[in-house]
Amino acid sequence: MNLFELTLRLKGFPIAEAKKRLAKIQEISKDDYPDYVSRLQADIVAYHQRENSWYREFAGSQPFTDWNSIPILSKKDLQQPLAGRLSRGFTAKNVYVNKTSGSSGHPFIFAKDRFSHALTWAIIMDRYKGHGIVYSHSLEARFYGIPLDRKGYRKERLKDWLSRRYRFPIFDLSDAKLEGFLETFRRKKFDYINGYTSSLVLFAKFLQKKGILLKDVCPSLCHCIVTSEMLFDEDKVLLQRVFGVPVINEYGASELDLIAFTGIDNTFLVNSASLFVEIVDPNNRPVPHGTAGRIIITSLYNRAHPMIRYDIGDTGVLAPESTLKTPVLQQLIGRTNDVAVLPGGKTIPGLTFYYVTKSVIEDHGNVKEFVVEQTKPSTFRIIYVSERPLSDKEIDTIKNALYEYVAPQLTLEFERVSVLDRSSRGKLKQFNTLLK
């Protein structure tokens, strides 16, 4: 047991037992897996109807004969004091408590019982191990934000030390800062990179401009894990070419678990060991595999707090070949609340603006990164960081593309800044609407 696992154990999280349970789950055959999932679904619902007064009031006390009739939990439903949402026998002192990032616009405090939290870590370690990464033993180059208050900062630095992580704070991503990052890669024998997608893409563009292959600078580097933000195909190609290592996509939610992780066969494998993931239509009915819809997730082991048919706020597609034991996330499309409402009531995914603008901007290689803001129903501001201002010709090209693919009667504004405003955690939201 390494130092990180020992720390978990000392804090009351039974990591050894969780790893044993995971091994038993993985031994369940494909044919027997539906029975395993069905039993856990029934158990977790019955448990919270019996032991959690908040959930009993929300979902009722009568047994459900049809899974699809169980009401779906939204983030708004959970925006109330945690003490009133805990199951009998659980308090803030005997559970894992944390707060969501609030990137969806609906932050809330959540809880996980100690075994459930330990199982989360067992699953993460197992997925890393599949790529030859030994969590808290392999040296990690971590591109993340960090709390700026003294207590939070020291706590995060301690966790970095326990987990063998070297943190690159990403609030300042100027060329001078990135040059310092590069020098650190020359000195340290990193095994893998882990960080927010946009920050790693920006670092890759910096290296590309200098004609540097990161693997040459740091020969020990073997993998790059991107997390917390969308990974576009062209960005994955860029990262793999400039870093010189395979790129692994990680999709998770702190209130749940690791949701999906790139497997060794390059498929985006959903975590079916502790979660039940379904895709539903606007009427909350399941859609066929291969069809896009809202991602709804049930935590099968969390007894401290019900996360049953929880709408995480994302849209996606399960691959046609998915089974209950090996579901594959064919596509992660984006947040359901990232919607642009145009004049006349027409709605389109906000990331459409980002996709179209990105495809045009990156042809020129001048813009490092950008975000799109909707300020009025027909007005959108493109805020960008670049070596030089966009020329009139470049702006016209972007405008014409948006007029063609989005709507012809838009007011488009362009604002050049030295650095983009990231969240307190360092995340970058590619599209944001200021409309209420």
Residue 322 pLDDT: 97
Please state, in angstroms and rounded to a whole number, the distance separating the CA atoms of residues 54 and 429: 33
Cα separation, 219 vs 216, in Å, equals 6
Whole-number pLDDT of residue 106 = 56
**Across-strand partners of 109?**
99
- 192 has pLDDT over 90: yes
pLDDT band (50, 70, 90) for residue 262: very high
- Residue matched to tokens 């709390």: 147
In 3-state terms, what secondary structure has residue 259? strand
DSSP string, 277-327: EEEE-TTS-B--TT--EEEEEEESS--SS--SSEEEEEEEEE-TT--SSS-
Looking at residue 379, what is its pLDDT? 92
Tens digit of pLDDT for each residue in 369-423? Answer: 888 889 988 899 999 988 889 989 889 988 988 888 788 888 999 999 988 877 6
Q: Position of tokens 């609340």?
A: 337
pLDDT in tens, 156-170: 888 888 788 999 888
Q: What percent of the chain has pLDDT over 90?
A: 60
Mean pLDDT of 256-272: 95
Choose between 30 and 424: higher pLDDT. 30
Q: Is the pLDDT of residue 105 over 50?
A: no
pLDDT tens column, 123-175: 999 999 999 999 888 999 999 877 666 777 788 888 888 788 999 888 778 88
Cα–Cα dist 18/117, whole Å: 9
- Is 304 in a helix, a strand, or coil? coil
Say how many C-beta atoms besides its own lie within 10 A of residue 417's C-beta: 12
Q: Rounded to whole angstroms, how far apart are CA atoms 194 and 252? A: 14
Strand pairing report for 165-169 and 140-144 = parallel
CATH architecture, domain 339-433: 2-Layer Sandwich (3.30)
Q: Who contacts 171 (Cβ-Cβ below 8 Å, separation ≥6)? A: 145, 422, 426
More confident residue, 334 or 205: 205
340: three-class secondary structure by DSSP? strand
pLDDT band of 426, cuts 50, 70, 90: low
Q: Copy the structure tokens of residue 110.
A: 């959540």
- pLDDT tens per residue across span 329-384: 999 987 655 677 788 777 776 767 776 777 777 656 678 888 888 998 889 999 99
How far, CA to CA in Å, does 300 sit from each of 34, 45, 64, 268, 290?
13, 9, 16, 20, 24
DSSP 328: B
Domain boundaries, the chain: 3-335, 339-433
Start-end of H helices in 52-113: 53-59
Same-fold call for 3-335 versus 339-433: no
| Residue from 384, 374, 380, 385 nearest 432 by CA | 374
Domain spanning 3-335 has what CATH number?
Answer: 3.40.50.12780
Count CB-CB contacts under 10 A for residue 123: 22
| Predicted confidence (pLDDT) per residue in 207-234, tens digit | 999 999 999 999 999 999 998 888 888 8
